[in-house]
Structure formats: C-alpha cells, structure tokens
Chains A and B, each alone.
Chain A
Amino acid sequence: MLKRRIIPCLDVKEGRVVKGVEFVALRDIGDPVEIAKYYDASGADELVFLDITASTERRQTMLDVVSAVARKVFIPLTVGGGIRSLEDISSLLKAGADKVSLNTLAVESPDLIKQAAERFGSQCIVVAIDVRFEDGEYFVYTYGGKQKTELRAIDWARRVTELGAGELLVTSMNQDGKQSGYDLAILELLRDAVDIPIIASGGAGNANHVVDALERVDAALLASILHDRKTTVEEVKHVCSEHNLPMRFVTTIAD
C-alpha cells in the first residue's frame, strides 16, 4: 500500500540551514549534511532544500550542498528557490537532486514547466504554489510570498498539471509559521481538481495537524515543528499510524 509521506523542509542560506517564520525571520540551525542524515535516520521520506538566498553567485554553494547530501543520504531530494532556467535544473539534477521545485519561474514562464517536463521527465518537476485566501478566493503569490498575482489557485493547479508538473507543493500563506494547522479547504479543493500528488505545507503545529492534512493529501512538508524539536518525524508518523494512515517506518538493521 502506498504510504503517506513526511517531508522535512530545510531552508538553506549560504550553505547553511536556516528556518523561516512567516517567510521573514531567520535563525541558523546548521549543517545541511548532518541535518539530512538526522532526518533520514528518523524516517523522513524525502527532503526538500529551499535556497532562500538564490542570488547568482550563491548558486554554486547550493550545488555543493546538494552534492554533499546526495553522497550520504539515499532518499529523494528536492531543491527549490531561485531556479531560473533549464540549465539551472540540469545542474541541480546532475549535482544529485531528484526533483526541482519551481514557483516564481513557473508563473512567469509557464512554458518552461512544459520544456522541463519534456526534457527531464514530469517526475522531477514539482510546482510550488503559494496561496493566500483573500476576498473569498485563493490567489497565487510569487517571490517567496511577496508578490500577488491574479492567478486563482485552482486554475493554476490545473494548468501546471496539463503542462507536465509531477507534484504540487501547496503552501498556505495565511497559515504559514502560525502552527495552528493547515488550510484544509485549499487542500481539498486542489485534491479534487488534479490527479497528481499534493504536498501540504504551512501551518503544522503538532502531529494531529499533520493527520488532518494526510487524511486529505499525499504528503506533508514540515519545517518549524521539527527544527524546534516540538515533535519528531517518528512521533508524527506514529500518530498518523494510530489514525490508520499508511506510513513507512524505518527498520534499522545493521548490515
């Protein structure tokens, strides 16, 4: 049976992992390889690295981070943030990323989703959709949540699926960093609108919030509650399992 996925998200700045609260405040929490190994051992099903600096001169730093992690950790790695071209995607995949997450670039050049899916396969194209609920509608935001667009989340999700996106990473701007639970309404709307897997992000404050999300969609992205040690991947998985959600448990048998 297919398992629901728990995906720790690591924000990376200048080669170090930091954490974002409401996309603004940052706090250094450490070395990407060590953190990746820790989460892998604790049962993380995948890892997402978001490059939150993403200026040109720092691109190489992110490639180094990905390459160092991919040599030590053998679960799917997704990289997002500051991806500007097919060449950027190609470099990240070569460095060891399994998937890339596109957000602003996808909105500004939707055709690139299609080109990327055709060249590298849909399986490695994750489209990140930052949504904010305003005036009774969910709108798509870009530039790390700073720029509002006129796109409706549902329309955009359908469009990117047609263009070849393999998965959607949906972040509720209203809920992000608040730790009061996911925006379940948008998860349900998107799940019913598209057939590709949906990863919920933004708002988890405890394991029960994750249960709420995973009763609706395929995967949950976790940041603050893990980095702050409010809970662990194991604990979240056990709570999900108690709620009859199929989860993967790591059996560490010495070779």
Chain B
Amino acid sequence: MNVAVIDYGMGNVFNVERALKAIGCHVVITNDPIEIEAADAILLPGVGAFPQAMASLHATGLVPLLKQMATEKPFLGICLGMQLLFNSSTEGVLTEGLGLIEGRVERMRAKRLPHVGWNSILRDEDVYFVHSYHVVTDEAHIVASADYMGERVPAIVHDGLVTGMQFHPEKSGTFGLRLLKEWKESVEREITTGN
C-alpha cells in the first residue's frame, strides 16, 4: 500500500516515514499533486502552531486537492495534522482549518501545559502525546479519549474516510505501530472493496 505523507515544512516527517515502513507501507513524502492522487492513502503530519501550518499548506496550493482526496481515499491526520482536519482553531489568531470533520480546536484548560508524555486510551493502552490544544467535536466522531488533569482529551477521531490521532503513533512503541497497522488494514479493505 502506498501512503503519501504530505510535505509542507511543518515538523519531522521522517519518523512517520520510518514507522510506516516498519509496518510494510510504501511511503512517498511529497507535495506533488500527481503523487498525492496516485497514493492509496494520505497522511497529514504536523508539529507546531495551527496558523503557520495552515499558511504553509495554503502556500503549497494543495488545500483544494486535500479536501477532494478526503472524500475519495483514507486520510489520516497526526498531532497538529489531526487538528487541521477541523473547521477552525483559536491558537494564536482564529484560523480556518480544512473542515474535513465538523469541530474546532481550542486551548486546553489544564494548569500544566503542554500535555506531554504517555497517557492511556481505549483499554488502558498508553500512547505518547505532546500538545496544548485539543479538538471539540461531536461525540459521534470521538473513537478514543484520554484524561489529563480531569480534562477529556479526544485522542482518536473518525468521520467517513478521515481519521485523526492527537498523539504520535509513530512514537508510541509497539502499541502505536499496532494502531498504524490497524489503519493500514482498514485502508487495504477500502482498496479491495473499491470504496
């Protein structure tokens, strides 16, 4: 399976690439529309601030294509890449996101931020988080969440072909790789059923 990891200058794409290769994906790190259209699935990584990330994405000219791709093939956003899937963020200045899933991104209320380290999701499995903003979205879109200082943090979100992971699966040890593998398997099912 071919994954296009979107290269728009925000954060370290190489660790995502290494993890995807470790579970048997072919990976192309790219901002070339032809390669993106040819891929079986899209992965939007991202580390940093929301407004700069959206500005960088707009600078690549890929925003309309990414919006289209999200209706045609599996699309995974990781960390900031997950936040970009939503309508808007209040980080810095109010900024419009990709709007692939209904919801918004807001600063967490916890006293100690960022939320850094291993936190449990699903059946008490730990994954590695680093962030200060989280998404506010419809309950129906939240697959898994974590608790940080009494605040509920959406960790995995899903709507149609679009999935988001707030944590770093590529840095969450064996369990993180397993989650990526489950996503890969869901993509492969999507390919064989021909959507």
Q: How far is the CA of A158 from the CA of B11 in the complex (A)?
A: 26
Q: Known contacts A70-B15, A75-B128, A98-B15: does B118 contact A250 (CB below 8 Å)? A: no
Hey, which chain A residues are within 8 Å of B125, CB to CB?
Answer: 251
Question: Which A residues lie within 8 Å of B126 (CB)?
Answer: 3, 248
- Sort chain A's interface into a size bin: 20 to 34
Which residues of B, 117-156, contact A by the 8 Å Cβ criterion? 117-120, 125-126, 128, 130, 147-149
- Chain B's closest residue to A219 (CB) is B117
Residue numbers in B under 8 Å from A40 (CB-CB):
173
Q: A98-B12, A248-B126 are in contact. Are A123 and B118 (CB under 8 A)?
A: no
The smallest beta-carbon distance between A169 and chain B, in angstroms, is 13
Would A123 and B114 be within 8 Å (CB), given that A1-B120, A1-B147, A74-B171 are in contact? Answer: yes
Complex interface residues of chain A between 85 and 119 (CB less than 8 A to chain B): 93-96, 98
Chain B residues touching A, range: 35 or more
Is the beta-carbon distance between A2 and B18 smaller than 8 angstroms?
Answer: no
| Residue B48 CB within 8 A of the other chain | yes
Q: Does A122 sit at the interface, judged by CB under 8 A?
A: yes
User: Are A94 and B12 within 8 A (Cβ)?
Assistant: yes
Given the known A-B contacts A167-B116, A248-B126, are A75 and B111 also in contact in the complex, defined by CB atoms under 8 Å?
A: no
- Chain B CB within 8 A of A132 CB: no
Whether the pair A166, B114 counts as a contact (CB closer than 8 A) is: yes
Q: Across the interface, do B117 and A252 meet the contact criterion of CB distance under 8 Å?
A: no
CA distance A251 to B120 in the complex (A): 13
Asked if B174 CB lies within 8 Å of chain A CBs, one says yes
A197 at the interface (CB under 8 A from B): yes
The CA of A128 and the CA of B19, in the complex, are separated in Å by: 28
The listed residue (B111, B117, B176) touching A2 by CB distance below 8 A is B117
Q: Which of A45, A74, A95, A196 has the most CB of B within 10 A?
A: A74
A134 CB within 8 Å of chain B: no
On whether the beta carbons of A2 and B171 are closer than 8 Å, the reply is no
- For residue A199, give the distance in angstroms from its CB to the closest CB of chain B: 11
Contacts A75-B173, A94-B14 given; indicate if A1 touches B119 (C-beta within 8 A): yes
Q: Is the interface of B mostly helix, strand, loop or mixed?
A: mixed
| A195: contacting residue among B11, B111, B130, B171, CB under 8 A | B111
Contact check: which of A3, A75, A253, A255 meets B181 at CB < 8 Å? A255
Task: With both chains docked as a complex, state the minimum distance between the C-beta of B152 and any C-beta of chain A, in angstroms.
Answer: 12
Q: Which residues of B contact A30 (CB under 8 A)?
A: none
Nearest chain B CB to A137 CB, angstrom units: 26
Q: Is the CB of A98 within 8 A of B171?
A: yes
**A71, B170: Cα distance in complex, Å:** 11
Are A3 and B18 touching (Cβ within 8 A)?
no
Cβ-defined contact, A122 with B170, below 8 A: no
Extra inter-chain contacts (8) besides given A121-B11, A251-B175, CB under 8 Å: A2-B149, A71-B18, A74-B171, A75-B172, A76-B171, A94-B14, A121-B47, A250-B174
Listed A/B pairs (13) with beta-carbon separation below 8 Å = A2-B118, A5-B117, A5-B118, A40-B173, A71-B18, A74-B170, A74-B176, A75-B173, A76-B128, A96-B18, A98-B15, A196-B112, A197-B112
* Closest 3 A/B residue pairs (Cβ): A248-B126, A123-B130, A3-B118
